[in-house]
């Protein structure tokens, strides 16, 4: 298991990493570069996460960073989850989102809203062997998340769920799904309720696996609920309060996506800078040309600004201060930085940047999703405008 900071204090948003955080970050970075890098191309081509890699992520404690040690987790901070997502995504954003959904959405939801019995039952598994997934989106409820049509009906000591979920990350690997359904469509968002649904539950199945532009090793599947019988004890939080769980977990998750896009941008920049020093034209390395130097300098500046935003939002969350505006700003800004930096990295590579033999075309493909999932850029702007005005 990786070293986790034991410090209970929360440094300010611009303070350097603590010694423990440096050690944690450097250990994750080494693991990502040495273990994940050799698998990236094959996983992308096969559109499949390496099973052995998932086991290693659990063994290192990266799938239960915030889960307390009493439940088998690492007992770390949200900020450390963000550091892990950033470093892993600098090598492969597909693996980054696997770790992100597990920590910032699934584990966080249980830590905040699960009963003690539910925590005892599920947190040790999420920390050591079970992948989690977050099932909110549907065909008609994307940005308008509360227009969901999946129904839940109480029958004795069970709830019966019927409906379909789309775009569910981690679905192929997941054992536990956080599913949102409505008990009363006429009640609008006040009918939405959250359930913990195991993959083996009768009436639960996976449908189509999406063939995606980017993050192709990350599974994205349809979830089908056909008279899916869920024990009443698996209701998460209060009946009719699922909207609160959805909103608040997504606010935290947006910082995780910011970390994923930050790592992606840094990874693309690393490759571009290294290539610029190696590639020679007109008798010298292209890094000696001012035009290329200025591009790399602008990219580095934008990455540093993005990093400060991600770290600030994560520090605020750990300090239990309001972070909703900062999370929305972070996801909006950093996803744009990632797309721009990845695009420029392709240009610095020239023709080589356009082929799969070199890594930057994958970063370019992977970057696009940052503006879409866990709240589109337009939705982030709507949130920001509401809060600043």
Please write the tens of the pLDDT for every residue from 305-315: 999 999 999 99
User: For residue 179, which of 232, 127, 240, 246 has the smallest C-alpha distance?
Assistant: 246
Give the mean model confidence (pLDDT) for residues 108-125.
98
Regarding the domain with residue range 133-241, which homologous superfamily does it belong to in the CATH classification? Butyryl-CoA Dehydrogenase, subunit A, domain 2 (2.40.110.10)
Question: CA separation (Å) from 313 to 4, 49, 148, 310, 322?
Answer: 20, 29, 29, 5, 9
Helix (H) or strand (E) holding 161: strand 158-169
For residues 94 and 218, give the distance between their C-alpha atoms in angstroms, rounded to a whole number. Answer: 5
DSSP symbol at 351: G
Give the mean model confidence (pLDDT) for residues 187-200.
96
Please write the tens of the pLDDT for every residue from 217-233: 999 999 999 999 999 99
Per-residue model confidence (pLDDT) at position 2 = 77
**How many Å is the maximal CA-CA distance in the chain?**
79
What residues have CB less than 8 Å from 47, skipping those under 6 apart? 209, 211, 212, 216, 217, 219
- Confidence check: pLDDT of 16 > 80: no
Q: Where are the beta strands (DSSP E) in 339-384?
A: none
* Active site residue ranges: 374
Residue with the two structure tokens 């409906």:
163
Question: CA separation (Å) from 182 to 148, 157, 185, 232, 275?
Answer: 7, 17, 6, 14, 52
Please write the tens of the pLDDT for every residue from 319-358: 999 999 999 999 999 999 999 999 999 999 999 999 999 9
Domain 19-130 has CATH 3.20.20.100: no
Per-residue model confidence (pLDDT) at position 5 = 62
**Taking the C-alpha atoms of 244, 248, 254 and 256 in order, what is their torsion angle to the nearest 10 degrees?**
-130
Give the mean model confidence (pLDDT) for residues 107-131.
98
**Domain spanning 244-388 has what CATH number?**
1.20.140.10
- Confidence check: pLDDT of 4 > 80: no
For residues 222 and 227, give the distance between their C-alpha atoms in angstroms, rounded to a whole number. Answer: 16
Per-residue model confidence (pLDDT) at position 145 = 82
Q: What percent of the chain has pLDDT over 70?
A: 97
Per-residue model confidence (pLDDT) at position 10 = 38
Please write the tens of the pLDDT for every residue from 240-299: 999 999 999 999 999 999 999 999 999 999 999 999 999 999 999 999 999 999 999 999
Per-residue model confidence (pLDDT) at position 261 = 98
Q: Number of C-alpha atoms within 13 angstroms, CB side, residue 101?
A: 27
Residue with the two structure tokens 């955080």:
21
Averaged confidence pLDDT in the chain: 95
Q: Angle at CA 249, nearest 5°, toward 246 and 251?
A: 105
- Confidence check: pLDDT of 374 > 80: yes
User: For residue 97, which of 257, 246, 233 has the smallest C-alpha distance?
Assistant: 257
Give the mean model confidence (pLDDT) for residues 114-135.
98
β-partners of residue 161 are 152, 228
Question: CA separation (Å) from 62 to 27, 32, 137, 149?
Answer: 11, 12, 26, 34
Listed by start position, the domains of the chain span 19-130, 133-241, 244-388
Quickly state the pLDDT bin for 21 (edges 50, 70, 90).
very high
For residues 50 and 33, give the distance between their C-alpha atoms in angstroms, rounded to a whole number. Answer: 15
- Confidence check: pLDDT of 6 > 60: no
Two tokens at 300?
């580095």
What residues have CB less than 8 Å from 375, skipping those under 6 apart? 143, 250, 254, 328, 331, 383
């Amino acid at each position: 298991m990786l070293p986790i900071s034991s410090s209970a204090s929360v440094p300010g948003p611009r303070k350097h990493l603590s010694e423990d955080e440096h050690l944690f970050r450097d250990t994750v970075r080494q693991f990502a570069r040495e273990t994940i890098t050799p698998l990236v191309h094959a996983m992308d081509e096969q559109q499949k996460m390496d099973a052995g890699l998932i086991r290693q992520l659990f063994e290192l404690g990266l799938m239960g960073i915030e889960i307390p040690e009493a439940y088998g987790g690492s007992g770390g901070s949200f900020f450390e989850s963000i550091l892990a997502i950033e470093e892993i995504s600098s090598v492969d954003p597909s693996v980054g989102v696997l770790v992100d959904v597990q920590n910032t959405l699934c584990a966080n939801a249980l830590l905040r809203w699960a009963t003690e019995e539910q925590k005892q039952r599920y947190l040790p598994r999420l920390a050591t062997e079970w992948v989690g997934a977050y099932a909110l989106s549907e065909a008609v409820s994307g940005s308008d998340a509360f227009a969901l049509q999946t129904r839940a009906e109480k029958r004795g000591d069970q709830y019966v769920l019927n409906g379909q979920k789309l775009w569910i990350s981690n679905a192929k690997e997941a054992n536990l799904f956080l599913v949102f359904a409505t008990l009363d469509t006429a009640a609008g968002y006040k009918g939405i309720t959250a359930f913990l649904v195991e993959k083996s539950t009768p009436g639960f199945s996976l449908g189509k696996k999406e063939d995606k532009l980017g993050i192709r090793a990350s599974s994205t599947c349809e979830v089908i609920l056909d008279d899916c019988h869920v024990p009443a004890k698996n209701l998460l939080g209060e009946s009719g309060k699922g909207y609160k769980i959805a909103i608040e977990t997504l606010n935290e998750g947006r910082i995780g996506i910011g970390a994923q896009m930050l790592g992606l941008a840094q990874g693309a920049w690393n490759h571009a800078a290294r290539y610029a020093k190696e590639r020679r034209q007109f008798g010298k390395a292209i890094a000696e040309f001012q035009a290329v130097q200025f591009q790399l300098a602008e990219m580095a500046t934008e990455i540093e600004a993005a990093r400060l935003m991600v770290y600030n939002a994560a520090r605020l969350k750990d300090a239990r201060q309001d972070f909703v505006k900062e999370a929305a700003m972070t996801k909006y800004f950093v996803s744009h930085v990632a797309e721009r930096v990845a695009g420029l990295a392709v240009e610095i590579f020239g023709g080589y940047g356009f082929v799969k033999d070199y890594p930057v075309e994958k970063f370019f493909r992977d970057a696009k999703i940052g503006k879409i999932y866990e709240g589109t850029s337009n939705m982030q702007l709507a949130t920001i405008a509401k809060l600043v005005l």
